[in-house]
Structure 1
Amino acid sequence: MGAEKKTDSLPSSPIEKRYISLEEVKKHNQPDDRWLLIENKVYNITNWAKKHPGGGKILGHFSGQDATDAWRAFHNDKDYVKKFMKALYVGDLERPEESLTELKSDFRELRKHVEDSGMLKTKPWFYVLHLAHIILLEVFAYFLVSYYGGGLYTFIAAAIILATAQAQAGWTQHDYGHNSVFPSHKMNKIFHHIVIGHIKGASSHWWNFRHFQHHAKPNVGKKDPDVDFPYLLLLGEHFPVTWGKQKKGFMPYNQQQNYFFLTMPPLLLPLYFHFENILFVFKRRDWVDLLMTVSFFGRYFYLYTQFWGAWGTFGFYMFVRFLESHWFVWVTQMSHISMKIDVDRDNDWFTSQLVSTCNVDQGLFNDWFTGHLNFQIEHHLFPTMPRHNLHKVAPLVKSLCKKHNIEYLSLPLFGAFARLVTSLKKSGELWYDSYYNG
């Protein structure tokens, strides 16, 4: 008995830390077996992925890869998030130097400089004024119709004003969705629900589900939903050639630069996004988002039915969406479709954003018209950065590109539009040549 007591009093042996090779991490990249590498620590997110607030897909896109820079880019509240990660911890990376390149190191130094210099801090007045000008446009459109009545010219003028308000509200909800307005994640979430739900009539969770996948793996087929619609358009060089050789596709892709004008710009918001929003909300039983959407349509029809009746108001609403859709498609696609579109090559964060994204030249109109998405490169590298600071980091990004011989592309506004169409033509020709001559 005495010997047993002596043994029980001995301190327990410390648990030996597990070290995992980079090769081992890369093996865990299947839907039923997913590991992530974050800051040289390995996490098993196989079962937890479905609980992830940003959706499970975005985590799955990095399975078996180093997600350090993506994780840092998306999370302002890192200490809070790390509390949930403790239970997922598997071990430490065996040889950290294997995953750290000079480019990664340089970008992480840039990231630290951005944080230390206050570039992630918001100027509240900027967003107050921006939201105010959207509300003023909405009020102006209503009083225009109230004063002049529901004639044809008023119908068109009010629709243009409201389309402008809706486009600008789209850029504003984008700010709240990226947690770049308030220090508090909760406040950003509340305002995102209000702006995208009550002012725009769409689902906050649907936007998060789509948009963060786009940011995680921009222009990567089957991972970025913004470039993954091959039954309408084939983009880049890899997919047109692959589909052509496999004799896939039923669209005349060699003419896609022409029918693009009749499909994506006029129809994306009026048709596709409505359908996808409704399907998403009901499939996930997201009643809060549904309530916010109902409040938008309730307000809309309450204000305008008195002038045009129910069906006339519906036609007015769809015309507004038709106008807004052109604005939205050209601005959001001009910086991506003309860039590299490929399968996942497991590029580092900096490279993956630069090869898939280009800028549009700075200017007062361009900044307003695009919601500062003319700084698409900087926004993709630092998605939580307030947009009024994007121009500050641009010279530093250019310098890093120059050091590592990476192209930093910035174009005039209409030059970016033209390049988009040219890239569609090139991709279509690649498909045609591969299909008939490959």
Structure 2
Amino acid sequence: MAEPASLATRGSDFARLATKINEAGLLDRRPVYYAVRGAIVAASFVGGWALFVWVGDSWLQLLVAVVLAVVFTQVGFIAHDLGHRQVFRTRRTSDLVGMLVGNLGIGLGWGWWNTKHNKHHANPNHEDHDPDVSPAVIVWSEDQVSRSRGLPRFIAKRQALWFFPLLTLEAWHLHVASVKAVFQPETKRRRTEGALLLAHFVLYFGAVFAVLPFGKALLFLIVHQGVFGVYLGCSFAPNHKGMPVLTAEDKLDFLRKQVLTSRNVRGGVVTDIALGQLNYQIEHHLFPNMPAPNLRKAQPIVRRYCEEIGVSYLETGLFRSYGQALRHLHDVGAALR
């Protein structure tokens, strides 16, 4: 990758880009946008559960489960934006609304997820510091393959084939990790977060088993949580999977660390909505607190600037991004085949 800037000047590369972004007003809050978006998602959430009650004891509930999975993911996107303080300026308000949206709304532990996600942003795709590429089940580098044991080593042989089936368990993993975090001493607001998570699960499972007989209720849970996990995974996977995995030997400045490990996904309004505007991942990683609707406007500025300083800027189609991620997973596991 061409990187003509010297080590002495790289530290100022991001500062010059930030000046351009600030001058364009792209870090300004968008309260009207988030008020409208929040109202639409809230109405969809309430409407989805109203539809669930109205449909009642019917196999059509499996379609309702898919609808609610889509809505839950859209709620998750708003929780993500709240975590980056894109919506509100103060941390207190962001945390309060975030806990209501995350813990109570979709059973996602606010404190645990924010801590994990901030570590990811600080060191994206770094095999020692990014929890999103930790070899818990999937392995992301040849070094991780060589050190893998047990289930990760078994999965790694054919992990490209396992990837999407494993995503059906992702929502359950997030719920379990959220509950575990409540019992960790370092977790802030443990009682509040625990109470909101408990309220979510009591209301969620209570509603499902009150409306549906046991067998249909189980199928509803499997479909709802499975599609929820796949949708979340398919929204986040194009962003970094298949991009360079960094190690302690890689010494990159902030701009290069964020740009070279991220991938943008082309698309119009439909893609923006479907992916929560995280398809502008490069811009999001450079400016995490930039309101989501401004990311599209920032893209040409960032792309042009990267071209000027010789930093590779990757943008591809959605399905090609999945192909790149799966090829990477396949190649990483080659030594075990």
* TM-score, length of structure 1 as denominator length: 0.70
Q: 1:119 aligns with which of 18, 26, 32?
A: 26
Paired residue for 1:79? none
Q: 1:165 aligns with which of 56, 68, 71?
A: 71
State the Cα distance separating 1:117 from its structure 2 match.
Answer: 3.2
Deviations 1:351-376, CA, capped at 9 Å, x for gaps: 11112110001311110011000000
Give the Cα separation in 2 of the matches to 1:427 and 1:374. 25
Paired residue for 1:133? 40
- CA distance 1:320–1:395, change in 2 (3 Å): same
Q: Which amino acid is 2:31 matched to?
A: P
Q: 1:396 aligns with which of 288, 294, 301?
A: 301
Deviates more, 1:169-178 or 1:250-259: 250-259
Deviations 1:122-161, CA, capped at 9 Å, x for gaps: 22122122222222222322332333322011x1121111
Instruction: Say which SS state the counterpart of residue 368 (structure 1) adopts.
Output: helix
Give the Cα separation in 2 of the matches to 1:318 and 1:129. 31
Paired residue for 2:3? none
Deviations 1:277-317, CA, capped at 9 Å, x for gaps: 11111123611111111222233245444311578546534
Paired residue for 1:37? none
- Asked if 1:256 is matched to 2:162, the reply is no
Give the Cα separation in 1 of the matches to 2:284 and 2:152. 34
Give the Cα separation in 2 of the matches to 1:183 and 1:209. 19
Deviations 1:93-136, CA, capped at 9 Å, x for gaps: xxxxxx97323213202213323432111221221222222222
Instruction: Say which SS state the counterpart of residue 152 (structure 1) adopts.
Output: coil
Q: Which amino acid is 1:168 matched to?
A: Q
Alignment of 1:19-418 (within 5 A): 101-153=8-60, 155-229=61-135, 232-240=137-145, 243=147, 250-251=153-154, 253-263=156-166, 265-270=167-172, 272-284=173-185, 286-308=190-212, 313=217, 316-344=220-248, 345-418=250-323
**Higher fraction of strand:** 1
- CA distance 1:165–1:254, change in 2 (3 Å): same
Q: Which amino acid is 1:255 matched to?
A: R
Give the Cα separation in 2 of the matches to 1:100 and 1:411. 29
Give the Cα separation in 2 of the matches to 1:252 and 1:106. 41
Q: Which amino acid is 2:129 matched to?
A: K
Q: Which amino acid is 1:120 matched to?
A: L
State the Cα distance separating 1:220 from its structure 2 match.
Answer: 0.4
- When Rg is computed on C-alpha atoms for both structures, the one with the higher figure is 1
- CA distance 1:250–1:142, change in 2 (3 Å): closer
Q: Which amino acid is 1:151 matched to?
A: S
CA contact (8 A) 2:119 2:131 kept: yes
Instruction: Say which SS state the counterpart of residue 223 (structure 2) adopts.
Output: helix
Deviations 1:367-387, CA, capped at 9 Å, x for gaps: 001100000000000001001
Instruction: Say which SS state the counterpart of residue 232 (structure 2) adopts.
Output: helix
Give the Cα separation in 2 of the matches to 1:101 and 1:310. 66
Structure 2, gaps ≥5 residues long = 1-5
CA contact (8 A) 2:120 2:129 kept: yes
Q: Tell me the percent identity.
A: 26
- CA distance 1:407–1:100, change in 2 (3 Å): closer
State the Cα distance separating 1:186 from its structure 2 match.
Answer: 1.6
How many correspondences in the alignment? 327
State the Cα distance separating 1:162 from its structure 2 match.
Answer: 0.7
- CA distance 1:419–1:182, change in 2 (3 Å): same
Give the Cα separation in 2 of the matches to 1:385 and 1:225. 23
Instruction: Say which SS state the counterpart of residue 223 (structure 1) adopts.
Output: coil
CA contact (8 A) 1:103 1:404 kept: no
- CA distance 1:404–1:258, change in 2 (3 Å): same
- CA distance 1:283–1:291, change in 2 (3 Å): same
State the Cα distance separating 1:208 from its structure 2 match.
Answer: 1.2
Give the Cα separation in 2 of the matches to 1:358 and 1:173. 22
CA contact (8 A) 2:66 2:227 kept: yes
CA contact (8 A) 1:201 1:293 kept: yes
Deviations 1:237-271, CA, capped at 9 Å, x for gaps: 5544x549x9x9732523111122332x111212x
Deviations 1:182-213, CA, capped at 9 Å, x for gaps: 12222112111111111111211101111000
- CA distance 1:129–1:311, change in 2 (3 Å): farther
Give the Cα separation in 1 of the matches to 2:78 and 2:332. 33
CA contact (8 A) 2:164 2:230 kept: no
